[in-house]
Amino acid sequence: MLSKLFYTPVIKGRLEPSKKDLDATLAVLDSYWAKSTRGKWALESGQSTAPVLGGKELFDHEEFDWMLHPVMTAAHAYWKYDVNLRWDWHVYIDSMWCNRHMAGDTTGEHCHVSCGRSKSHVSIVYYLKKDAEGGHIQFKNPMEDILRMTPLEQSYDDWTGAGGGLDWHTMPAESFDYLIFPSWLKHRTQPATGDRIAISINVAGTPIDPTEGDYE
């Protein structure tokens, strides 16, 4: 009997907007792209709303509500049942921004634990636009340090960059898919094979009176 212990849960879902909602969301983002410079945010080679004033608080725009409410409902269930975080904590959106890539653009290796206003526990990426054939997100094996001390058939570094061995797991997705994962899980993107618009959301929690609401 084989038992697989200590797994890392990643949820994949899908949410398709109406044309009206999609157009309204893209119009808001266009106002940020006009102020954004390529390659000016963290490990991004493309554009990001994050460096622009208000660009990490996209949740303030009601044009994103069609997506936020159902995705946050899914994140709240993930918080409770998949990663078993505190049920009595107030769960809220800490930060929310959007990255836009053209063909060849990438996001470098990083995690989301401390990239918002407070410590993030759960992260979400929603693909407003993405080619199904490539440019996927890749999650890094959290057991890297242990594997480097293990007598593998191949050196751990021999796998680096392959995206399909011990080091990275490639998660295919397309437009209107979303992923929910632990904020500590390191990840990166493959080079985009076309236009890619990805909305990132960091979810945090705080031990306050839960009657104030489950999430914002």
Split at pLDDT 50, 70, 90, the class of 42 is: confident
Q: Specify the higher pLDDT residue, 2 or 156.
A: 2
Beginning with the edge strand found earlier in the chain, give each strand of the sheet holding 187-189 in spatial order. Answer: 168-171, 137-140, 187-189
- Whole-model pTM above 0.85? yes
pLDDT score at 105: 94
Residue indicated by tokens 């994949």:
12
- DSSP for 118-171? S---EEEEEEEE--TTS--EEEEPTTHHHHHTS--SS-HHHHTTTSSSSSEEEE
What is the pLDDT averaged over residues 21-35? 97
Among 23-37, 42-56, 79-93, 155-169, where is mean pLDDT lowest? 155-169
Tell me the CATH number of domain 11-136+172-206, given options 3.30.70.890, 1.10.15.40, 3.40.50.300, 2.60.120.620. 2.60.120.620
pLDDT tens sequence across 183-214: 999 999 999 999 999 999 999 988 875 455 44
How is the chain split into domains, by residue range?
A: 11-136+172-206, 137-170
What is the pLDDT averaged over residues 34-59? 89
pLDDT tens sequence across 140-191: 888 777 777 776 666 655 555 444 456 788 999 999 999 999 999 999 999 9
